[in-house]
Structure 1
């Protein structure tokens, strides 16, 4: 029996365990929409293509399985390129399916015909055009494998309109390829353990893909057994990530740094001194061979899935080791500047971001989800709130993802309270996705730190050029809460610190997607690295 390519696509997604696809409609993918009718898969229809990818990104980060975004061709596909970059830098497994101009019209100036494979290639682990409808199941499964293997990341497939609408007779060929690296040798594992044993102050730095979910559990398991402190590196500020607190200053003391799926890149200042000691030695356990550095300070390079190497290392460590150094780093991670406690209690106007943290933390303590954008307000809440797991903008340094990511997180567990923290500049990117949240009854709570400016750029200008040379950073103190109320959600303005707790309680209790527009003090992000 023959089936259309679109039907085979949906059947394959269902067989991969996909129950939600994030999408924005377009001509080339209408056959896929039709194929979802009566199937056990839901479409969440967004207001912007990038938002669909951000939502899929949240699913990928939280579950470890690829989130799926379905996009129209041409300009719709291009609208999502920045979100693909965010997912790639966060090492998030995502599969992006884009409609495409018909195969039989390629090269003729077809409607919305562009080279989508080429546009996606720099921001994806793999990108290709499917040319045979019989290959749809195989290629989609292959995309899922690639997205999860080694260093997780996004994969893009373009699906021509005529391929989706046409008949896909016959059995799909088995064209799968191995995604495995060469097996780690016992000598390599022994070498790593010998370096760690000989070190006085070893430290493990985990990349974004290794810093969450089951992979992070493997890091923690080895750290506990070996007595080596481990820190996740998730932020574009890298070694200056304010979430690290005083632990950032422990890096200068480390004599051996084991990079577990962590690139030796800008976020580590390329391993330079500072922040690391001049005589530090690095070990790279790296799934991407191109990231292995030809550097005298790198004394061991292992090309393998870090998660698998950690399993072998954990098995090879025979005794639990209790290092004082690990306790020192853990205590430093719990240490914040002394004045922060007073700022968390400060009832002043405009409101300090740490006062917002104090009001929200009780919800996180009982299981609420933390999603944060970048910017100065985002950096403060990342530093001032504790919540595993946590979704942040990631090493891309991009802003705008928090609202759609919060919706993606909520779609996984409707019973869990989800907070999204954004600056007022950030709200402008995807504020209309609160319409999506309203339509799909996904009540998230968006807290806008409204300081009426692009504060990150404002602070950069002050630090670089002086306070009398700031330009083009001002915004209006707009009523974003009223925008959300107009859409049918809950909205409130918070101008006094004493109003925070009550406003948060009311937003959660409303059962509606909510926006709390908080008048915040325009302070620069915290910097703890000395």
Structure 2
């Protein structure tokens, strides 16, 4: 077995079904071997998209996503996507090609210090230097990516560990000019190379790949469980905020959803946890979160940091009992010291609380907390009604609120929602509802633009039966619209909706008001539907509000035939998001 085959065997045992890449000679053996054993090799148009796709795959499946990129510029192109995965706490294994071990630091093609480049952005860097080290190294990479706070790891794979020994020997001996040494220097060089080859291939291929060891969901200690149970029984206005960490073990999502229903506390879902309770659920709320957090007497934040999204902890009333539950010890006290910090898996803690309360507790709690539910529901319904009224307003073009209200009615029950943008996407987040768990993909806390193409490619690959919607801003679409080409080549069919107002509107709104100048925020109302056609997809222009439903239905029909489609929506300006800039 060559190194590529060895790596492929580990990927297969780890349950990997997709490997995302942009080709390069440094990594070719990995791609070819993985394809031969049935792993789907999905080659994208930008290395960042490969890592974004791996990120999305990890979120939807719970198995670390895998990307392989070539050395040097191939790896440097991934940095934003890797950092996004680190901050989103997504488990990834990233393979980076590298120059031959014997040529490191000697000026070979694309040879840079990749370890120093990647170390700040991953949980661990692995640098195998012999073929026999590949299996244990990669198995360790998968384990560490999932342990504790999940995140990306990097495996540097020198090219001379991947190709067959005979090929590497030819590179070293024949092409090194020492096949037939003519002097003492030649004999010494050949001896050095022979020793180096012997060290690389001694003991190859090494141990066989093993089945993965399940990563445990760490329980909270009994004292913490009992303390929260007591507070819940005393509370009159409890609130749960449930974040992405809660669903990091994808297979447990149904049990966690059932536990939340059993507990019966009003819930706000955030990040990757959106959709955990389905499209509509009597415990789930989406609007006026801060107002409820200010009024609550008990707030439990599961797997979600007290960062800018929660006002650095100030969104929660000062008199409330605050419980933070997180896999990261430092996150428990970030920006505000809680009444109780629980270092445990947030999803597991929810199921422990449900078990502690016992069967029938949810119905009893709902009755006891009915005045609190009425108060929250009144705010929720008032905001929903306000949004409907704002959707009726006439604007110069298509009203984006009206567009999303109609999309909400038309999306299939198996839909996956990918969002990539600023103002347009944030408007969508208030209106469209994920239909089921692990079906909402946003960048995460890093606020990265450019995730859309890779996320959509992965969504279609992982769930080929699903209807995949990609909500793009016109600015953000420029980062990854070329992945329509990937979709055409691979038979993937997402529906992309581009909100086209010829502006980086989220920035422009405040920049113009505060600084009086739109410089740097102005775009053209580009014919993105024509761009899609150029890549082999279908493009639809939507500039008439009366044709929203017909255009969305046409896009659905095109996608069902296996063709990716881009709807270029000429939207008008609204003040829906005025004053919403985040710092």
| TM-score for both structures, normalised by structure 1 | 0.89
- Going from structure 1 to structure 2, the CA distance change for 1:130 and 1:259 (only over 3 Å counts) comes to farther
- 1:163-182 paired onto structure 2 within 5 Å: 163-165=161-163, 166=165, 167=201, 168-171=204-207
- In the alignment, what sits opposite 2:15? 17
SS at match of 2:84: helix
Of residues 193, 196, 203 in structure 1, which corresponds to 2:232?
A: 196
Structure 1 residue 224: Cα displacement: 2.4
- Going from structure 1 to structure 2, the CA distance change for 1:289 and 1:7 (only over 3 Å counts) comes to same
Structure 1 residue 188: Cα displacement: 2.0
- 2:280 is equivalent to residue 233 of structure 1: no
After superposition, the C-alpha distances for 1:336-378 in whole angstroms (9 at most, x for unaligned) are 2534213434565311111211332233253332211130000
- Going from structure 1 to structure 2, the CA distance change for 1:113 and 1:340 (only over 3 Å counts) comes to same
- In the alignment, what sits opposite 1:239? none
Of residues 61, 64, 77 in structure 2, which corresponds to 1:63?
A: 61
- Going from structure 1 to structure 2, the CA distance change for 1:340 and 1:132 (only over 3 Å counts) comes to same
- Going from structure 1 to structure 2, the CA distance change for 1:332 and 1:57 (only over 3 Å counts) comes to farther
Q: Is the 8 A contact 1:135 1:173 kept in 2?
A: no
In the comparison of the two structures, how many residue pairs are matched?
516
- 2:387 is equivalent to residue 340 of structure 1: yes
- Going from structure 1 to structure 2, the CA distance change for 1:10 and 1:182 (only over 3 Å counts) comes to closer
- 2:484 is equivalent to residue 434 of structure 1: yes
SS at match of 1:279: coil
* Distance in 1 between residues matched to 2:64 and 2:94, nearest whole Å: 9
* Distance in 1 between residues matched to 2:337 and 2:206, nearest whole Å: 55
* Distance in 2 between residues matched to 1:36 and 1:182, nearest whole Å: 33
- 2:482 is equivalent to residue 484 of structure 1: no
* Distance in 1 between residues matched to 2:576 and 2:151, nearest whole Å: 29
- In the alignment, what sits opposite 1:46? 44
**Greater Rg over alpha carbons, structure:** 2
Of residues 542, 558, 562 in structure 2, which corresponds to 1:494?
A: 542
- 1:72-471 paired onto structure 2 within 5 Å: 72-165=70-163, 166=165, 167=201, 168-171=204-207, 184-210=220-246, 213-214=250-251, 216-234=253-271, 244-272=286-314, 275-293=315-333, 297-318=337-358, 319-320=360-361, 321-322=365-366, 323-324=369-370, 325-326=372-373, 328-329=375-376, 332-333=379-380, 335-345=382-392, 348-388=395-435, 389-465=439-515, 468-471=516-519
- 2:524 is equivalent to residue 472 of structure 1: no
Q: Which range moves more in the overlay, 513-522 or 309-318? A: 309-318
* Distance in 1 between residues matched to 2:121 and 2:332, nearest whole Å: 20
- In the alignment, what sits opposite 2:189? none
Structure 1 residue 384: Cα displacement: 1.4
- In the alignment, what sits opposite 2:182? none
SS at match of 1:27: coil
* Distance in 1 between residues matched to 2:252 and 2:376, nearest whole Å: 21
After superposition, the C-alpha distances for 1:117-141 in whole angstroms (9 at most, x for unaligned) are 3322333233322233223222222
After superposition, the C-alpha distances for 1:212-269 in whole angstroms (9 at most, x for unaligned) are 755554543333223322222229xxxxxxx932334211112222222222223222
* Distance in 2 between residues matched to 1:215 and 1:202, nearest whole Å: 24
Q: Is the 8 A contact 2:470 2:495 kept in 1?
A: yes
SS at match of 1:399: coil
* Distance in 2 between residues matched to 1:187 and 1:156, nearest whole Å: 38
- Going from structure 1 to structure 2, the CA distance change for 1:480 and 1:226 (only over 3 Å counts) comes to same
* Distance in 2 between residues matched to 1:341 and 1:361, nearest whole Å: 12
Q: Which range moves more in the overlay, 97-106 or 204-213? A: 204-213
Q: Is the 8 A contact 1:181 1:303 kept in 2?
A: no
Q: Is the 8 A contact 1:481 1:492 kept in 2?
A: yes
SS at match of 1:50: helix
- Going from structure 1 to structure 2, the CA distance change for 1:329 and 1:217 (only over 3 Å counts) comes to farther
After superposition, the C-alpha distances for 1:261-303 in whole angstroms (9 at most, x for unaligned) are 222223222212xx22122332222211232328874122222
**Mind listing any 5+ residue stretches in structure 1 that lack a counterpart?**
236-242
Q: Is the 8 A contact 1:209 1:261 kept in 2?
A: yes
* Distance in 2 between residues matched to 1:502 and 1:340, nearest whole Å: 22
- Going from structure 1 to structure 2, the CA distance change for 1:37 and 1:312 (only over 3 Å counts) comes to closer
Q: Is the 8 A contact 2:133 2:206 kept in 1?
A: no
After superposition, the C-alpha distances for 1:385-411 in whole angstroms (9 at most, x for unaligned) are 112322222221111112321121011
* Distance in 2 between residues matched to 1:91 and 1:98, nearest whole Å: 20
Q: Is the 8 A contact 1:136 1:172 kept in 2?
A: no
* Distance in 1 between residues matched to 2:445 and 2:565, nearest whole Å: 28
Q: Which range moves more in the overlay, 494-503 or 84-93? A: 84-93
* Distance in 1 between residues matched to 2:214 and 2:464, nearest whole Å: 37
After superposition, the C-alpha distances for 1:441-477 in whole angstroms (9 at most, x for unaligned) are 1011111100001111101203432xx3332211011
* Distance in 2 between residues matched to 1:59 and 1:294, nearest whole Å: 29
Q: Is the 8 A contact 1:365 1:387 kept in 2?
A: no
